[in-house]
A = this chain, B = another copy of it.
Amino acid sequence: MIFIKIFVLLSLATLSISSYAGNENEHFWGVHQGGITNGEQTQTYFISFDMVSNNREDLIKLLQSWTLTAAEITNGPEKLNPHLSPDEPSLESGAAVGLSPKGLTITFGFGPSLFEKNGEDRYGIAKNRPEALVDLPRFPGDQLNIERTGGDISIQVSANDPQFVEYAVRKFAKIANGVAEIKWAQTGFNGSFKKGDTPRNQMGFKDGTMNIDVTKPDLMNKFVWVGNEGPEWMRGGSYLVVRQIRISLAHWDDMKTSFQEETIGREKVSGAPIGKKGEFDMLELEAADEQGNVITNENSHAAMAAPETNNGAQILRRAFSYDNGVAKIAERWPPWKQLVTFDAGLFFEAFQRDPRTGFMKIFARMSQIDMLNQFTTHVAGGIYACPPGVTKGQFIGQQLFIN
């Protein structure tokens, strides 16, 4: 009931920032951060840092330096030549010389622990922690590795070139040296699908058919961008929930196609709702066959995720696959083999105006009874407050430090 109330309040709120800025790679500066509204690139690198310095000025300097670097490498390849002085180490690895920052986006986020850690307000910003930046509860089935969960600051770098992405992440890590240390990281990818096509994931299904239309400011303001209900420094920003979801791909591949479709709640090749033709045909959850049986299983992934079954709640999904090669894994189903198999799955990201009315609301039920759960395990993740975009001359999260 609390969720519904909050949801209604949010829907009615008027917003100070309502313009849609389709941050592409050309510019880093903008109303919103990049990497939220633009289409998924073929490569991503998510990295989470913990501060090692407890000094407020160190944190500010780090954010200033990261901001300038992000702008520099986003704004064009002409900035990427190593500034080599033979007698000192260069900040530039040189690994991007000759490459272009294809579709590059860089997204910064602040985890709850940046505001308060072990009861300590290290940077004098605890009072500015937004209510919406909750500590996520443990959901049924969660098997998050504590060493790969959370972190003080997240950076996500995405582009259409794997080396450029790796180059940028390493540069951010080098800048952090002595002030922040790497906590965890995960790379990801997407296939080069035709522009406008809904990408398919490793399970072979289209992924994102029902996603929020980012070109509609009313939807973005309602579900994605923080409005007046949030602290000033977060208005025009968004909350990011990240979940690394291992998928038992070999097990999935052994299932009948009809069972896969029942599990997802959509047809495999077309992406259409069961029994329909087109990917974007209406998903009618009440529809029944001649015997009166519901056509789309109510525990199917599509039904569980649909706004209709979540009191209208929606999140902006941004999905990459991940592939860590292979690992020794114990299967969760008979005959419970222990084998070397694919350590791969979905690097799931949801942007939302408020996680309490977004991811938490939707996933509370899904984590219990979504048919897809038998193939998935959440192994890492975090929640981060992603501030709004940056104007030239400012640094990311600057308003957080104003008082």
Chain multiplicity (copies): 2
Also in contact, A92 and B204, with CB within 8 A (given A257-B86, A326-B47): yes
Tell me, rounded to whole Å, the shortest Cβ–Cβ distance linking A148 to chain B: 9
Q: How far is the CB of A184 from chain B (nearest CB, A)?
A: 7
CB of A174 within 8 A of CB of B253, answer yes
Select A97's contact among B181, B187, B200, beta carbons within 8 Å. B200
Among A17-25, A162-170, A362-370, A395-403, which stretch is in contact with chain B?
A: A162-170
From residue A341, how far is it (CB to closest CB) to chain B in Å?
7
Contacting pair A256 B87 (CB below 8 A): yes
Contact present for A182 and B82 (CB under 8 Å) = no
Q: How far is the CA of A127 from the CA of B205 in the complex (A)?
A: 47
Say yes or no: is A201 at the interface (Cβ < 8 Å to chain B): yes
A249 to B181, CA, bound (A): 15
- Which residues of A from 144 to 198 have beta carbons under 8 Å from B? 160-164, 166-167, 170, 173-174, 177, 181-187, 189-194, 197
A163: contacting residue among B85, B191, B197, B339, CB under 8 A: B191
A103 to chain B, nearest CB (A): 12
B-binding segment of A27-35, A105-113, A317-325: A317-325
State in angstroms the CA–CA spacing of A321 and B162 once bound together: 10
In the complex formed, the residue of B with least CB distance to A171 is B253
Asked if A82 and B187 sit within 8 Å, CB to CB, the answer is no
Q: Indicate whether A89 reaches chain B with its CB closer than 8 angstroms.
A: yes
- Interface size for A (C-beta < 8 A) is 76
Q: Are B340 and A89 in contact (CB under 8 A)?
A: no
Q: Give residues 249-273 of A contacting B (CB, 8 Å).
A: 249-250, 252-258, 261, 268-269
Contacts of A42 in B (CB 8 A): 161-162
Contacts of A92 in B (CB 8 A): 204
Residue pair B323, A166 in contact (C-beta under 8 Å):
yes
A339 touching B94 in the complex, CB below 8 Å, given contacts A82-B269, A257-B85, A257-B86: no
- A342 interface hit (Cβ, 8 Å): yes
Tell me, rounded to whole Å, the shortest Cβ–Cβ distance linking A151 to chain B: 11
Taken together as a complex, chains A and B put the C-alpha atoms of A200 and B268 apart, in Å, by: 40
